[in-house]
Amino acid sequence: MTIPQNRCVSVFTRLLSLAFVVALAVSTESARATAEDLSPLEHLGKQIFFDKNLSNPVGQACASCHAPEVGFTGPDSEINLKTGIYPGAAPGRYGNRKPPSAAYAAFSPKREFDQKEETWAGGQFWDGRMDDLVAQAKGPFLNPLEMNNASAADVVAKVRESNYRGLFEKVYGAKALNAADADEAFDLMARAIAAYESSREVNSFSSKYDAFLARETTLTAQELRGLALFAGKANCTACHPHQAAADGTPPLFTDFTYDNVGAPRNAGNPFYRADPAVNPDGAKYRDLGLGGFLNDKTQHGKVKVPTLRNVAKKPHPQFVKSYLHNGTFKSLKDVVRFYNRRDKTPDAFDPPDVEENVNREELGKLGLTDAEEDDVVAFLETLSDGFVAPQPAATEPEFPAIAPSASTRGDHFKGARDVIRVVRFRRVVEEASRSSDTRQR
Ligand code: HEC
Ligand code: HEC
């Protein structure tokens, strides 16, 4: 689905990022946000995000596939286990991919190719086909495989009937929902959603690891070993940076670049059996990711590096989450084992869905022991938001010594890729401040 770019919209999103950076710079304490901290615009976005009446038939909200208790991804343990892919509002319809986290997505810059690093970075969705959260938020309402509304006018009509109509009019003006052009009101809805997704409630930076960085708590011995491996021998930080950026942005655990980690097919993906009108390739379907969207063979199989914040967040220990863009793995241990042994014991894994461009330099043969795999998982478990320190730390926590990375290319990228992101972020902030006089509608 193509949605025309609206200049005003992108300025708005940049301003959101600007507000974010400023807010974070001003106070790290305020990063622990609660619902009362939402602005009226963010609050409106939240109402829309959780409203199950905005689908056809009714019953599906954004939150049905992006729920806070699991880190704004899919909240149904059984679906995660069986398919990893969520049904749409209309019976029997499925998309082709797992819902990524809608939290921390606000930080993804517009997708751009970096000539020097020869890599794409930024954008929304696994394949980066949308520029920003405002453009993204319009997609699900009209996508027949998701919320399945016939038109923007239909969605706006439902908001007109909602119990937050008053809030909408307070935020955007008394006539906002009655304009002859429904696209305008639809656009305002998308902006409110983007504001909520950019809020500190959604991006709370409140994990145990954040508390550790703020020297408010200590990590266990195992978590510390996991961190040292993550940033060293296991080379995870080459794509999932664990350190704050130079501009003060706390670590996002993604550099928003694209890679093919060689994800095996997910045989449970219902998309293989979808109507030929939706999936003409049937069981032979391959998800080409960014390469499919760009129609560029050199990018086949590459998808955007997801944040690792909240990867372990779940309502109870037995709850199952699915991982990778097609939901093929069902535990973090499985993911880490795959990264560690993919090229050492290839027979233990199904072949990659897309053979081209599999990254064999930075992952696949990490040489971790079974216990070290567990240590990395223990570290990933410190990235769940909502951590409450049991007691003030007795001793001053220390950052562990980090062993040099196993991969030389990883070393190279560790600095360079981080730099791309920081430079981009600065540019966004500068542009936003330059155009701030055009901000008011
Ligand atoms: C039926 C499940 C479903 C519903 C409902 C849904 N999403 Fe998603 N969402 C997904 C899937 C699947 C993807 C990834 C699609 C892709 O990459 O092609 C996604 C991607 C996203 C992303 C991109 C994140 C990133 O890092 O790239 C955001 C943000 C998002 N959704 C927000 C929303 C909002 C806002 C709504 C409501 C207007 C919504 N979603 C409704 C399943 C859903
Ligand atoms: C070369 C870049 C790169 C390196 C190195 C890397 N990752 Fe990833 N990671 C990715 C990409 C790209 C994806 C998405 C792949 C997909 O969905 O097919 C991903 C996905 C994941 C996921 C799944 C997240 C989700 O929401 O489904 C986890 C967990 C993960 N990585 C952890 C790690 C750990 C732990 C390490 C180190 C052992 C690591 N990664 C090293 C690029 C990388």
| CB-CB contact of 346 with 287 (8 Å) | no
Identify whether 280 is preceded by a cis peptide bond (ω within 30 of 0): no
Q: pLDDT (tens digit, 9 = 90+) per residue, 135-151?
A: 999 999 999 999 999 99
Evaluate whether residue 2 is within a structural domain: no
Q: How far are the Cα atoms of 40, 55, 193, 278 from residue 138, in angstroms, in the given order?
A: 20, 12, 9, 20
pLDDT at 25: 38
The rounded Å distance from CA 137 to ligand 1 centre is 8
Q: How far are the Cα atoms of 268, 376, 404 from residue 229, in angstroms, in the given order?
A: 32, 7, 10
Mutate to test the pocket of ligand 1, among 110, 125, 145 (most ligand atoms within 8 A of CB): 125
Ligand showing the shortest atom-to-Cα distance for residue 52: 1
Q: Which amino acid is at 163?
A: N
Specify the 3-state DSSP secondary structure of 291: helix
**Residue 89 pLDDT greater than 90, yes or no:** yes
Alpha-carbon distance of 148 to 88, in angstroms, equals: 8
> Which atom of ligand 1 is the closest one to the Cα of 127?
17
Closest CA to 287 of 305, 268, 309, 260: 260
**From the CB of 376, is ligand 2 less than 6 Å away?**
yes
Alpha-carbon distance of 312 to 14, in angstroms, equals: 30
Mean pLDDT of 162-174: 97
Residue 117 — pLDDT band, cuts 50, 70, 90?
confident
Mean pLDDT of 283-305: 97
The rounded Å distance from CA 1 to ligand 2 centre is 27
Q: Which residue has the higher pLDDT, 50 or 401?
A: 50
The rounded Å distance from CA 135 to ligand 1 centre is 12
**CA atoms 265, 270, 272, 277: torsion sign:** negative
Burial class (CB in 10 A: 0-12, 13-18, 19+), 297: exposed
pLDDT at 394: 56
**Residue 115 pLDDT greater than 60, yes or no:** yes
How many independent structural domains does the chain possess? 1
Mean of all residue pLDDT scores within the chain: 85
Alpha-carbon distance of 358 to 301, in angstroms, equals: 8
Q: pLDDT (tens digit, 9 = 90+) per residue, 29-87?
A: 334 445 558 999 999 999 999 999 999 999 999 999 999 999 999 999 999 999 999 99
Alpha-carbon distance of 371 to 367, in angstroms, equals: 12
Alpha-carbon distance of 263 to 260, in angstroms, equals: 7
Q: Which residue has the tokens 């009446």?
A: 53
pTM of the model: 0.85
Q: Which amino acid is at 300?
A: H
Q: Longest Cα pair distance anywhere in the chain, in angstroms?
A: 64
Mean pLDDT of 97-102: 98
Mutate to test the pocket of ligand 2, among 98, 225, 259, 417 (most ligand atoms within 8 A of CB): 259
Mean pLDDT of 345-357: 96
The rounded Å distance from CA 29 to ligand 2 centre is 30
* Alpha-helix runs per DSSP H in 280-356: 290-294, 332-341
pLDDT at 2: 33
Burial class (CB in 10 A: 0-12, 13-18, 19+), 105: buried
Mean pLDDT of 240-269: 94
Residues flanking ligand 1, CB < 6 Å: 60, 62, 64-66, 86, 88, 95, 97, 99-100, 102, 105, 124-127, 133, 136-137, 140-141, 146-147, 193, 197
| CB-CB contact of 232 with 368 (8 Å) | no
| The two structure tokens encoding residue 117 | 């690093």
pLDDT at 408: 31
**From the CB of 103, is ligand 2 less than 6 Å away?**
no
Q: Which residue has the tokens 């905005």?
A: 54
Closest CA to 332 of 387, 265, 377, 279: 377
**CA atoms 75, 76, 81, 86: torsion sign:** negative
| CB-CB contact of 414 with 239 (8 Å) | no
pLDDT at 398: 60
**From the CB of 336, is ligand 2 less than 6 Å away?**
yes
**From the CB of 372, is ligand 2 less than 6 Å away?**
no
pLDDT at 114: 85
**Residue 278 belongs to domain with CATH number:** 1.10.760.10
Evaluate whether residue 1 is within a structural domain: no
| CB-CB contact of 137 with 189 (8 Å) | yes
The rounded Å distance from CA 100 to ligand 1 centre is 7
Supply the range of the domain harboring residue 92. 7-438
**Residue 279 pLDDT greater than 60, yes or no:** yes
> Which atom of ligand 1 is the closest one to the Cα of 124?
27
- The DSSP code sequence of 205-270 is --SHHHHHHTTSS---HHHHHHHHHHHTTT-GGGTS--S--TTSPPP-S---BEEB--PBP-TT-G
